[in-house]
């Protein structure tokens, strides 16, 4: 299927955590993580998304992380800035800022809590698209927002020249297939669930925006690389090999487990912001066991 709009990236984009230290954003560690991801083959950096704890960053911190990610990446990979909100005016303002400081694309989640209708979704996203100078990737995660983008709505959204793709985390493969059938080359699809990378790419998806990549960036990239090459057997094999780790990273609300796992690996502090809190002891034990199983931690 030939896409009609420019592609932001193909492969694996990391939904990068926002490291914290003593209650503040730890920019030094964020910079080291960005450098490491590029070295490991990560294809794009998604800053201040759900995994980046955007919902508890101040506006000043949110903007600072976007600007820092753009500057640190320095053109080595696309930077996709999370600028979505349940307040349309704020989403527009933050999106304009991200464009001004050089983000390569924007990631816009559906409105949460106040939600809206499907008609309201179109108006909400078109407002940001009209204000943006960069491509937009939508983000559908109804388990968090309570709002699902329906295939027919995607069809209308895909008519806007700057709405080029979506991160699909609805979990419903049949719905995703219907969206692809309706939108064709007008909307690229990225998996928003690490346990569905290969299935979604087998339908024509271009890659993943991944939590797993925070732990295993090279392997996540390889799952997508094999799929893009049409080698779905190898892609599926690696996906299944990592399924225990993927599942472990979601036994509590993301990013609680992934930050705990990263701390075990010496990648960043486990510090998170309330209302998220430290993981249960059984979660820590599970993560330690799975990391050892994959030879990421020594016995």
Q: Is 298 among the domain residues?
A: no
Structural domain of 167: 11-229
Tokens representing 240 are 């299944």
H/E stretch holding 118:
helix 118-131
Query: Which of 67, 134, 167, 225 does the annotation list as catalytic?
Result: 167
Across the range 274-296, mean pLDDT stands at: 97
Distances (CA, A) of 62 to 3, 98, 167: 32, 10, 20
The predicted model gives 204-231 an average pLDDT of 98
CATH number, domain with residue 154: 3.20.20.70
**Of residues 68, 139, 154, 226, which has the active-site annotation?**
139
Tally of structural domains, the chain: 1
Of 121, 180, 163, the closest CA to residue 146 belongs to: 121
Dist CA 120 CA 124 (whole Å) = 6
Q: Which residues, 6+ apart, have CB-to-CB distance to 38 below 8 Å? A: 73, 76, 77
pLDDT tens for 42-75 read 999 999 999 999 999 999 999 999 999 999 999 9
* Tokens representing residue 84 in the block: 């979505």
Looking at residues 165-175, what average pLDDT do you find? Answer: 97
Residues written for the chain: 299
Instruction: Please tell me the distance from the alpha carbon of residue 66 to that of residue 143, in angstroms, as a whole number.
Output: 26
DSSP run (H or E) holding 25: strand 24-25
Within a domain: residue 240?
Answer: no
**Active site includes 123?**
no
**Which pLDDT score is estimated for 94?**
98
251 part of a folded domain: no
pLDDT surpasses 80 at 11: yes
260 domain residue, yes or no: no
pLDDT of residue 2: 84
Position 298 scores a pLDDT of 81
pLDDT in tens, 226-249: 999 999 999 999 999 999 999 999
Q: Looking at the domain assignment, is residue 243 inside a domain?
A: no
Q: Which residue has the tokens 């049409």?
A: 230
Q: For residue 299, is pLDDT > 70?
A: no
Q: Is residue 92 part of a domain?
A: yes
Task: Identify whether 285 is part of a domain.
Answer: no
Active-site residue, 167 included:
yes
Q: Mean pLDDT, to the nearest integer, of 16-21?
A: 98
Asked if residue 211 lies in contact with residue 193, where contact means CB atoms within 8 angstroms, the answer is no
Q: What is the mean pLDDT of residues 97-105?
A: 98
Q: What is the mean predicted confidence (pLDDT) over 1-11?
A: 91
Q: Exposure of 1 by Cβ count < 10 A (0-12 exposed, 13-18 middle, 19+ buried)?
A: exposed
């Amino acid at each position: 299927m030939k896409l009609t709009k420019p592609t932001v990236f193909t492969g694996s984009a990391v939904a990068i955590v926002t490291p914290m230290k003593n209650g503040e954003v730890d920019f030094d560690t964020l910079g080291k993580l960005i450098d490491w991801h590029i070295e490991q083959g990560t294809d794009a950096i998604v800053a201040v998304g759900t995994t980046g704890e955007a919902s508890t960053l101040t506006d000043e911190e949110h903007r600072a992380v976007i600007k820092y990610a753009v500057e640190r990446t320095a053109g080595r990979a696309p930077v996709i800035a999370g600028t979505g909100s349940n307040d349309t005016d704020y989403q527009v303002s933050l999106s304009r800022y991200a464009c001004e400081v050089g983000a390569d694309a924007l990631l816009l989640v559906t409105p949460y809590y106040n939600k809206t209708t499907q008609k309201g979704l179109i108006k909400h996203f078109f407002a940001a698209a009209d204000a943006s100078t960069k491509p937009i990737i939508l983000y559908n995660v109804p388990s968090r927002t309570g709002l699902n983008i329906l295939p027919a709505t995607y069809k209308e959204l895909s008519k806007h020249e700057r709405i080029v793709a979506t991160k699909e985390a609805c979990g419903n493969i049949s719905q995703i297939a219907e969206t692809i059938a309706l939108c064709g080359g007008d909307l690229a699809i990225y998996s928003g669930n690490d346990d569905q990378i290969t299935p979604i790419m087998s339908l024509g998806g271009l890659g993943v925006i991944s939590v797993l990549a925070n732990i295993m960036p090279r392997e996540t990239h390889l799952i997508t690389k094999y799929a893009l090459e049409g080698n779905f057997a190898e892609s599926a094999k690696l996906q299944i090999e990592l399924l225990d780790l993927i599942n472990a990273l979601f036994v509590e609300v993301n990013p609680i487990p992934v930050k705990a796992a990263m701390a075990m690996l010496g990648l960043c502090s486990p510090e998170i912001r309330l209302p998220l809190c430290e993981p249960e002891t059984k979660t820590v034990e599970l993560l330690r066991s799975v990391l050892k199983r994959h030879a990421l931690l020594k016995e």
